[in-house]
Amino acid sequence: MDAQAVLTTTRSVRKRMDFDRPVPRELILECIEVAIQAPTGSNRQGWHFMVVTDPDKKRSIGELYRKSWDAYSGGRGPRYAEDDVRHKQLPKVVSSSQYLADRFHEVPVMIIPCIHGRVDVPGVSNLEIAGLYGSILPAAWSFMLAARHRGLVGAWTTLHLKYEKETAELLGIPYERITQAALITLGFHTGGDFKPAERIPLEPIVHWDSW
């Protein structure tokens, strides 16, 4: 695939993930090698990638994820006008998300991108928050792009972060010094083509020189 295809077809894939096919360690490491070419603030390179394949640990994380999903899905979600493309897409997104929550513990690999430092303390500025996440999120997204290029798919999730401390204790992550930024599920896909998604138009979201 060329860059255009990778960039326009990499999104969260849930129902079309192969839950039974293992992902070779070498492929995961290849994707991480690509990921750490991403920008990093002050060239600190303070990123870490927690790779989880142990069935018992995946089961425990899956339980935390489902608890968070149940609370989230039971609340008032986003509402869109009937002529908004997101209104049409919402039922599929909900169905797909529920499917992943039900089978979260079965995904072949969980990748938790982490960054050295914490900003969830009083008095921290938006500058510091942006700097911290800006040094891990590009790398995490590069990981997903590299995975897509190699025939792998995943879903970018954050719901487990409601139980970040519990996840840190489970995996031995030093919570006081390390921030978990996301959890990416990873596996091969079951087949079929991927195409660009329908998105909202550019006109209301692009601003030239003034808002």
User: What is the CATH number for 121?
Assistant: 3.40.109.10
Domain extent at residue 14: 3-74+84-188
**pLDDT band, very low/low/confident/very high, at 160 (cuts 50, 70, 90):** very high
3-state secondary structure the chain: CCHHHHHHHCCECCCCECCCCCCCHHHHHHHHHHHCCCCCHHHCCCEEEEEECCHHHHHHHHHHHHHHHHHHHCCCCCCCCCCCHHHHHHHHHHHHHHHHHHHHHHCCEEEEEEEECCCCCCCCCHHHHHHHHCCCHHHHHHHHHHHHHCCEEEEEECHHHHHHHHHHHHHCCCCCCEEECCEEEEEEECCCCCCCCCCCCCCCCCCCCCC
Q: Is residue 139 part of a domain?
A: yes
- If pLDDT is split at 50, 70 and 90, which confidence band does 177 have? very high
Decide if 164 is inside a domain: yes
Does residue 167 form part of some domain? yes
Query: 204 in a domain, yes or no?
Result: no
Which of the pair, 127 or 83, is modelled with greater confidence?
Answer: 127
| Residue 58: band (very low, low, confident or very high) from pLDDT cuts 50, 70, 90 | very high
pLDDT > 90: percent of the chain: 87
Domains in the chain, number: 1
Give 91-132 pLDDT, tens digit per residue.
888 899 999 999 999 999 999 999 999 999 999 999 999 999
Asked, for residue 130, whether it belongs to a domain, the answer is yes
In a domain, 149, yes or no: yes
* pLDDT confidence bin for 3, thresholds 50/70/90: very high
Q: Is 205 domain-assigned?
A: no
Q: Which residue has the higher pLDDT, 207 or 75?
A: 207
pLDDT in tens, 47-57: 999 999 999 99
Inside any domain, residue 105: yes
